[in-house]
Structure 1
Amino acid sequence: MAEKHFVVQGAVCQCQFSETPQTDELVVKTHSKHYANDAEGKEKLIATNKEIGQTMKKNTFGNCKKQPSGSSFLPCQTTITEWSNPYEKVTFSNNGNPLLEDSKATCPKGSKDCITIKDHGQTAELTEKNTKNSSPEVIAELLPGLNLSDLDDSALIINNTENE
């Protein structure tokens, strides 16, 4: 899996047959159990090759070049029939394999692998566990000139309340 990310809910996809390049977001509908890059386990469900059918937020990529209509094209109605290149070494509770950022989808109006993933949907999320597990050398590189051992814990708290 060398340096490839799992695709999560909200990943941005694009079809090569869109008249003008438009994107849509992937929605995970086949399970509610497996999360990535989401400390709270509320938003980033891992997408699998079982995300078949109308599994996009808007279910359209604009007008489809594969559906000519006079001097224009008919609107796309995204329907995914299969995914290629999932990570087959892992199987989730929905019997699906997680999608990777280089996985592609097939639409019956387009062609095999006509839908690509433009952004896997994961974002870096710093948690308390991350800071506790950080080495002093890494902290020194990221925050040069700051010696965290000289500060008490209260100096590291960022207050985000409106009234204070």
Structure 2
Amino acid sequence: MSEKHVVVQGATCECQHGFMPDMLKVSSHQYEYANDKDGSQKLIATTLEIGQPFQANTFGQCKLQPMGSSYKPCQPMITEWTGFYEDTLLKNGGNIIVEDSKATCAISGAPCVKITNHGQIAEPSQQNMENADEDTQAQLNPMVNTNDLSNTNTESMENGIVENVK
């Protein structure tokens, strides 16, 4: 799983036979979270996200179902996931879906739904600031004193900008 992102609730998916993306909705469990320091929003997607695990449950129109000069509306029915992380089994009995996993739709009979955005968002925490390398941060953010950010005393933050007079 090295260098691959775990897919979470809200990941963007596209079908190669559809016309628009849809967002993944995790409904197979309420236990394991990723990229969410409060553990309340980013559920980890598993191989048990089958059936219609999307918010709008459509990718627009389906190119595999022509209807005159147009196409029938897409109604994805996911039957399985491939390319998932096999070395971990979560509480619900499913494996973790990663960013290069693909889903098979019953209409196409082949893996046609891909993940275009894994759904994770960088959200630095206090622990990240405490563990950051001071020299590297000084080069990346020359205007920011990282010692002030990692200070657990929040009094100065509550007062807004405080000028240090020496």
Partner of 2:61: 63
What letter matches 1:118 in structure 2? T
For 2:93, the aligned partner's letter is N
Gaps of 5+ in 2: 161-166
Pairwise CA distance, 1:3: 0.7
**Residue 78 of structure 2 aligns to a residue in which SS?**
coil
Which of 44, 50, 53 aligns to 2:51? It is: 53
2:71 is equivalent to residue 73 of structure 1: yes
Task: State the percentage of identical aligned residues.
Answer: 48
**What SS does the corresponding residue of 1:157 show, helix, strand or coil?**
helix
TM-score normalised by length of structure 1:
0.88
How does 1:58-137 map onto structure 2 within 5 Å? 58-137=56-135
Deviation at 1:29, TM superposition (A): 0.4
Structure 1 residues 131 and 111: alpha-carbon distance in aligned structure 2, compared to 1, 3 A threshold: same
Cα distance in 2 for partners of 1:123, 1:146 equals 22
Aligned-pair CA distance for 1:91? 0.5
- The one-character-per-residue Cα deviations of 1:40-82 (angstroms, maximum 9, x if unpaired) are 1111000011101011000000110111111111000011110
Unaligned runs of 5+ in 1: none
Structure 2 residue matching 1:144: 3-state secondary structure:
coil
The worse-fitting range, judged by mean Cα deviation, of 49-58 and 140-149 is 140-149
CA distance in 2 between partners of 1:103 and 1:149 (Å): 41
The structure that is strand-richer by fraction is: 2
Distance in 2 (CA, whole Å) between partners of 1:50 and 1:120 is 17
Moved over 3 A (4+): 145-156
> Distance in 1 between the 2:101 and 2:64 partners?
22
In structure 2, the partner of 1:42 is 40
Q: Is the Cα–Cα contact under 8 Å of residues 129 and 146 in structure 2 kept in the other structure?
A: no
- RMSD of aligned alpha carbons: 2.2
Check 1:37–1:156 CA distance in 2 against 1; reply closer, same or farther (3 A cut).
farther
The TM-score normalised by the length of structure 2 is 0.87
